[in-house]
Amino acid sequence: MQPLQRFRIRLTADGVAGLALFLFGAIALFESRALPIGTLRHPGPAYFPAALAIALMGFGAFLVAFSGKGANLREIGWEEARYAFLIALGAAAAIYLLEHAGYVITMAALLLYLLAIVAGRHWAVSALAAVALAAGTFALFDMGLR
């Protein structure tokens, strides 16, 4: 046995997902450095994003550390790749539209897209749920939490 063969990394689905979470958290933490964090008593605009980024990095590291028993990456089928692509496409469109169309319209459109097109649910029920959730969350944050 060669000495370095002991340290061979086995790519599992859990390990790759953990690495992706860790990297996403690291990027979010890096990007939040431009805003002030504030204090525990008076948190700034970067406080909650930084806390979430650190949590993502911790959970990602945990997944990487304990991913030895997961399915090998080569054994996983890609039948669901279509859905992952459609969800990523919707998220990218929502990121762009959020600044141009506002929260309620963007979230209603994203939810309608996810429910009706990606998940294949009934259009009328999807539209009602999308508008209710978008308007409800906006009302909660705008009026309820100020």
- Confidence tier at 80 by pLDDT (50, 70, 90): confident
Mean pLDDT score across all residues of the chain: 87
- Supply the pTM of this predicted model: 0.64
Beta-bridge partner residues of 73: none
Q: Quickly list H helices, the chain.
A: 13-31, 47-65, 81-101, 103-112, 123-139
At residue 65, the 3 state secondary structure works out as helix
Summarize the confidence of residues 67-91 as an average pLDDT: 83
Q: What is the pLDDT of residues 92-132, one digit of tens each?
A: 999 999 999 999 999 999 999 999 999 989 999 999 999 99
User: How many CB atoms neighbour CB 54 within 10 A?
Assistant: 14
Whether the pLDDT of residue 88 is over 60: the answer is yes
Contact 12, 72 (CB under 8 A): yes
